[in-house]
Amino acid sequence: MSTRSIAFIVKDQSPEILGPEDTVRRACQRMWERRIGAVLVVDGKGVLAGIFTGRDAVRMLAEDSTGADTPLSRAMTPHPATIEPQRTAIDALRAMSDGGYRHLPVVDGGKVVGIVSRGDFNGVEFERLSDETSLWECIS
């Protein structure tokens, strides 16, 4: 059974990218406007520094009443796991499942090319992950 490549999934994407000096408020505004669950944070050289998700927003607001004005550098999840575009959808789903996260930045040679989230995958891919998980449980 073949599976889609990550490059195919992100080919028409234009991920939301902000800088570490941008605020939680700005990130949340962009996420709301674009109906997305995460923004990627890159440093001045365009290198991925972190990811800011809805979970990070909730954590920031719960911890700090002035959280909206907090720079992303203090609110983001730094150095997130990434995946290369030549990998497959099942590789991404496996990494997301193992890591307990919903978004996975796609990086090629240090350059951000996209982001995948659980909603980007289809039933066949979820089914394959479930089959693999069941198989590993039987083997263990």
Q: Does a structural domain hold residue 1?
A: no
Q: Does a structural domain hold residue 32?
A: yes
Confidence band for 105, pLDDT divided at 50, 70 and 90: very high
Phi–psi pair at 110, nearest 5 degrees: 85, -5
| Distance in angstroms (rounded) separating the CA atoms of residues 20 and 4 | 32
The position carrying tokens 């995946």 is 83
Position 67 scores a pLDDT of 77
Give the domain range for residue 114: 6-139
Q: What is the CATH number of the domain that holds 85?
A: 3.10.580.10
Q: Does a structural domain hold residue 50?
A: yes
108 three-class SS? strand
Domain count, the chain: 1
Phi–psi pair at 45, nearest 5 degrees: -95, 5
Q: How many CA atoms lie within 13 A of 40 on its CB side?
A: 25
Q: What's the pLDDT tens digit per position in 36-64? A: 999 999 999 999 999 999 999 988 888 87
Q: Does a structural domain hold residue 63?
A: yes
Q: Does a structural domain hold residue 66?
A: yes
27 three-class SS? helix
